[in-house]
Structure 1
Amino acid sequence: MRKFVLAIALLGLSTASTLAQQPPGGRLGTGLPVPRYVSLKTDRVNLREGPSKDHRTAWVFQRAGLPVEIIAEYETWRRIRDSEGTEGWVLHSLLSGRRTGLVMPWAKGKIASINLLDRADDRGGTVAQLQPGVIANIKTCDGTWCRIVIILERARDVDGYVRQDKLWGVYPNEKVE
């Protein structure tokens, strides 16, 4: 009898630890890697406290292209984190796989700008100066340098290179093609 009780107890522990690793209800999302970076598709994205429209809106993002990190998935909902650490749930249809990055958001108010260079080299020529918090479209990253494009409304787009560690929206040493 004692062996039977022990087997049930061990089975219970195994099941509990498995459920703790899955989203509520045990329903998994896309099977894509988590965490991963994506961007906001529109200028208005409701960040909810839970994975349904019944949950309260905790925040409204108003910046299309803003990079966010998916940290969990549940059915059609994604739990995301922004560069300031704010977390919540959004519908997957409001997210885009387009890779963007924020230029040194942690340096807002601390430095005026960083140089966007014409080649992936600290000795490269300056193409533009970027303020912290600017959204950049990430074209490629080799693990050290990223080629980015800044979309300007009334002028030509600016294309150049910045060190990967100066962007929020790409992991250290990550390669983006």
Structure 2
Amino acid sequence: MRAIGKRLKRMKGIVGIALVAVLSGGWAHAAPPPQRETPYWASLSASQARMRTGPGRNYPVNWFYQRQNLPVQVLEVYPGWRKIRDPDGAEGWMIGNLVSDQRTGMIKGGTVDLLDAPHDGAKLLWRAEAGVIGTLSRCADGWCRFDVKGRGGFVEEAKLWGVDPGETVK
């Protein structure tokens, strides 16, 4: 009985300290993240992620992804959930922390050239097959810097999924 009494006394002390901290403003309340205008581009942050038919764990899973950094388009934002579209056009809901703001792109179509400068006729550095995923940066004037594990170059934006036509990405 004494052990239970000591635990209760200790818990009362902890609860009291927490209550004082909250009432005095000692603990900052986390402000909700600013709402981004949809649609916007993002990527999968986890190596495994489930897409659901609705914004909740009680909805059935309609896709299971095993490709970290896959570019996705966020269509809607719901507290803790994001409605996304994948490169194949499938749409569904995913837990928000599985979606990253990291900009990635995916080569679409056939094999593409990665060039040393953003214009036709530039020196060929690498080639990438359809489906290859890389990090996007410096998109402007119809070209994007595309980096795959340290090997990068410029690709025409029309050959990428993960960037809007004419979009500027820093």
TM-score tier (shorter)? 0.7 to 0.9
Which segments of structure 1 move beyond 2 Å, counting only runs of 4 or more?
A: none
AA aligned to 1:176 is V
Q: 2:154 aligns with which of 149, 158, 161?
A: 161
Query: How far apart are residue 30 of structure 1 and its match?
Result: 4.6
What fraction of aligned residue pairs are identical, expressed as a percent?
A: 35
Q: Which runs of no fewer than 5 residues in structure 2 stay unpaired? A: 1-32
Query: How far apart are residue 114 of structure 1 and its match?
Result: 1.2
Provide, for residues 114-156 of structure 1, a one-character-per-residue CA deviation record: whole Å limited to 9, x for no partner: 11001111101110111011001002101411011111xxxxx
**Could you tell me the TM-score, scaled by structure 2's length?**
0.78
Structure 1 residues 1-177: aligned runs within 5 Å: 30-104=34-108, 107=109, 111=110, 113-151=111-149, 157-177=150-170
Contact 1:100 1:138 in 2 (8 A): yes
Provide, for residues 53-104 of structure 1, a one-character-per-residue CA deviation record: whole Å limited to 9, x for no partner: 0111111110000000001111111100001110100011011100000011
**Could you tell me the TM-score, scaled by structure 1's length?**
0.75
AA aligned to 1:131 is E
d(CA) in 2 for partners of 1:79, 1:127:
37
Distance 1:34 1:143, change over 3 A: farther
Tell me the SS of whatever aligns to 2:127: strand
Tell me the SS of whatever aligns to 1:65: coil
RMSD: 1.2
Query: How far apart are residue 161 of structure 1 and its match?
Result: 0.3
d(CA) in 2 for partners of 1:140, 1:65:
18
| Paired residue total | 138
AA aligned to 1:38 is A
Q: Which runs of no fewer than 5 residues in structure 1 stay unpaired? A: 1-28, 152-156
Could you say which residue in structure 2 is the equivalent of 1:3?
Answer: none
